[in-house]
Amino acid sequence: MEDIFDITIVGAGPVGLYALYYAGLRDVRAKIIEALDDVGGGLKVLYPEKYVYDVAGYPEVMSKELVRQFERQARTYGMPILLGQRVTSLRRRDDGVIELATTGETHVSRTVILCVGGGAFIPRTLDIPNVKRLEGAGVFYYIKDSAWFRDKRVLVVGGGDSAVDNALLLQSVARRVVLIHRNDRFRAHEQSLQQLIASGIETHYPFWEVKELFGEDRVRGVTTVNTFTGDEMSFEIDALVLNLGFLANLKPLREWGLELRYNGIAVDELMRTNIPGVFAAGDIAGHPGKIKLISTGTGEAAVAVNNAVHLLYPERQVEPEHSSHAKRPDPR
């Protein structure tokens, strides 16, 4: 006999974890399927030691601690979190039940909420010699352990939150940190930029890019170039941190029959996709005015869960009376 869940959530990043918790609040049977072997998504895999400043209730919080709290909350009602299973196909049957094939088995669910972030983690890299060869030997795309950089000379490349936050993080452990950026404006939060200015970190922008990377067994040096003036600067470095963003692989979602718009899965105001019973929330959900923050993603998760519950049980209203009336955790 099929074990059909009310809601199956794909993705165990912060948004997926919160969706599971919220499904428990609404007293429905739910589970998470996650491709990675741990929860936390990109926040845990890519930025475990990065501070997060835009989550309600936390003036600042380390990524790995925030993930720990999300996981603790998600496990409140004891619902399954299945790790190491990548969803390979999604199909809505004639009876309305949705089949999710994974690398391990086939799951069936009455509704699905896709919380897959930006898709696969494919970092943008530089098309210059030695970069690929020296990955792991001084070329990094994210920082898992800041202790590795102790007393090292580091060049950080990029102008977004990751680049600025990593430069600030490494300043406390590295011997020297230099940040270069090719544009005339940074995309990081204003508070982070103020901290960067106050930090005294050597920063070069605009038009500065990496021209050459040197090293045989490990990174040893780099030459940068100003693409406007042609001026060059060379540095002896031990590490090159490339924070140039990530490429989203949305092809599988299109193959599942999902409509893609706004750099994600097209959703309406109820977080519904074009496939009945399938919702999306978080960075992958595309709609006008989209702001990709954890705060907005968790709000979208609540909207998706509430509307999924109403779809499943029409007699239950979309908006619960109050969270104080919700299901209580089992004290066992």
Give the pLDDT confidence of 232-243 residue by residue, as tens digits: 999 999 999 999
pLDDT one-digit tens code per residue, 243-286: 998 776 788 888 999 999 998 999 999 999 999 999 999 999 99
Residue found under tokens 């021209």: 211
Separation of alpha carbons 15 and 238, rounded Å: 36
The mean pLDDT of 300-311, rounded to a whole number, is 98
Per-residue pLDDT for 328 more than 70? no
Which pTM value belongs to this model? 0.77
List the beta bridge partners of residue 61.
52
Find out whether 174 and 150 touch, Cβ atoms under 8 Å.
yes
User: Domain residue spans in the chain?
Assistant: 4-120+248-325, 124-244
For 140-163, give one letter per residue: b (16+ CB within 10 A) or e.
bbbbeebeebeebbbbbbbbbbbb
| Mean pLDDT for the chain overall | 92
Find out whether 231 and 207 touch, Cβ atoms under 8 Å.
no
List the beta bridge partners of residue 139.
135, 240
Residue found under tokens 């352990």: 145
Find out whether 83 and 38 touch, Cβ atoms under 8 Å.
yes
Per-residue pLDDT for 119 more than 70? no
What CATH number belongs to 124-244? 3.50.50.60
Tell me if 4-120+248-325 shares its fold with 124-244: yes
Separation of alpha carbons 283 and 118, rounded Å: 6
Find out whether 86 and 104 touch, Cβ atoms under 8 Å.
no
Could you give the count of Cα atoms lying within 13 Å of 267 in the half-sphere of its Cβ? 28
Separation of alpha carbons 192 and 210, rounded Å: 23
List the beta bridge partners of residue 52.
61
Instruction: Please name the fold of domain 4-120+248-325.
Output: FAD/NAD(P)-binding domain (3.50.50)
DSSP state of 235: E
